[in-house]
Amino acid sequence: MKFRPAVLLSALALAAGAAHAAPDAKAPAAPDAVLLEAARAARPALEQSLVEMTTIESGTSDTAGLLAFASYLEKRLSALGAKTQMLPLTQGDSKALKATLTGTGQRRIMLMAHMDTIYPANTIKTSPIRKDGNRLYGPGIADDKGGIALILHALQILHDAGWKNYAQITVLLNPDEEITSPGSSKLIAEEASTHDVVLSFEPSGPTGGFLSLATSGTAVAHLEVEGKASHAGAAPKEGRNALIELTHQLLQTRDVDKSVPDTQLNWTVAKAGVVHNQIPQHAQAEGDVRVKSADGIDKLEAALRKKIGESSLVPDTKVTLRMEKGHPTFVATAQSYALANKANDIYAEVGQKLSFRVFSGGSTDASWAAQSGKAVVLESLGLGGAGYHGKDEHVVLDSIVPRLYLATRILQEIGQNWDMIARR
């Protein structure tokens, strides 16, 4: 998951401006005392789960670590009575973990999170797990091991309570979300299309107070220049400097996104040359692309090609552009908003208030889950936290109880009152 500063709208403020939002505010209902006490009682065990899971390093490229983590999770889910499967991806050697529980109700619910982190192996040696007041630090602890911990413990609470008001609960945990899920996107989309509701457990912000109702589409822009190598000292004019031409193209395209509404481009990586005394023949750059519309990437690519074609600084160089698409755009449906408003009602039962975040610049697998349009998708049901992808990544421990209460209650509501929620 990759997030930037969010656009936050309170649930009630959004309700006032959206045709499908919540009705007028009303006094919150009393909490379910049994579930709330169970959530409080589960906090120490959930903290221990966070420590155990974060100790198992599982960077996207660490196949051995991911398989070890999947094995750990398979045992945990099997202990809850789930049927588990390790599923191959369309690319890569890692496996996705699917676990299914069969109930006696009518609704099919999918719970989704990702096992991979962005950290290389042995990061935990330099960024060890540590607790500091209300925060628990560790690589990947919020994104997304906190989400997985919530899934495990919410299911444990409901299992212990004998709750079976669902036709099927599917837990789907994939190993490549941090690189836009190239090997698991098809699996996610297909599984989601057979369910009524998909709840995705990405982290929920610095205090655990938001849900995501729109996430950005992503792409990587690849810009390459082919020139001609020559001796930098004896014959520099015989060469065609690819680095100079690349620099020219980066400068002339740096603001092209301003001409394409709801798109964002930031050039982030550049490489050129091999040795200092040779005019570089090759140069390349990569840019991070974020869009808010389904056709935003194509429109931005067209604008880039036009700008690149306007001028060249170094004669006889060849410039090529390639756009590598990642996550598609996710925009919540009216039913997703209705479910989000129900979540806000539930959160109010424990004195909390949700905000709805839209188009923060982040992208998640909720976009793959929503591809078919068949499932109602809600994102960011994980723990509160911050510092994602950095040395200070942490979860906010005080978010455990309200978020665990929300997860268990919303599952109960989907099982018992889905038709009423969907019509809201």
Write down the pTM of the prediction.
Answer: 0.89
Taking residues 355-378, what's their average pLDDT? 93
How many angstroms from the chain centroid is the CA of residue 279? Answer: 42
- Residue 281: which pLDDT band, with cuts at 50, 70 and 90? very high
φ, ψ for residue 299, nearest 5 deg: -65, -40
pLDDT for 362 equals 85
Would you tell me how many other CB atoms lie within 10 Å of the CB of residue 355?
A: 20
pLDDT for 421 equals 83
pLDDT for 424 equals 66
pLDDT for 409 equals 98
Taking residues 320-349, what's their average pLDDT? 96
Q: Which two tokens stand for residue 366?
A: 């909720």
- Percent pLDDT > 90 in the chain is 90
pLDDT for 22 equals 40
Domains of the chain and any CATH numbers = 8-216+328-422 (3.40.630.10), 219-325 (3.30.70.360)
pLDDT for 423 equals 75
pLDDT for 2 equals 45
- pLDDT tens, 6-65? 444 443 334 333 333 344 457 889 999 999 999 999 999 999 999 999 999 999 999 999
- Percent pLDDT > 70 in the chain is 94
Q: Which two tokens stand for residue 405?
A: 């209460």
Outline where DSSP puts E strands in 257-403: 263-272, 278-279, 282-291, 318-325, 330-331, 355-358, 376-378, 385-386, 394-396
Residues recognised as catalytic = 116, 177
What is the full DSSP assignment across 248-275?
A: HHHHHHTTGGGGSTTEEEEEEEEEE-SS
Averaged confidence pLDDT in the chain: 93
Sheet-wide strand order for 394-396: 130-132, 135-137, 394-396, 385-386
Question: Contact at 8 Å (CB) between 56 and 122?
Answer: no
pLDDT reading at 75 higher than 60: yes
Grouping H, G, I as helix, E, B as strand and the rest as coil, residue 366 is helix
- pLDDT tens, 386-399? 999 999 999 999 99
- Residue 1: which pLDDT band, with cuts at 50, 70 and 90? low
pLDDT reading at 419 higher than 90: no
- pLDDT tens, 132-176? 999 999 999 999 999 999 999 999 999 999 999 999 999 999 999
pLDDT for 361 equals 81
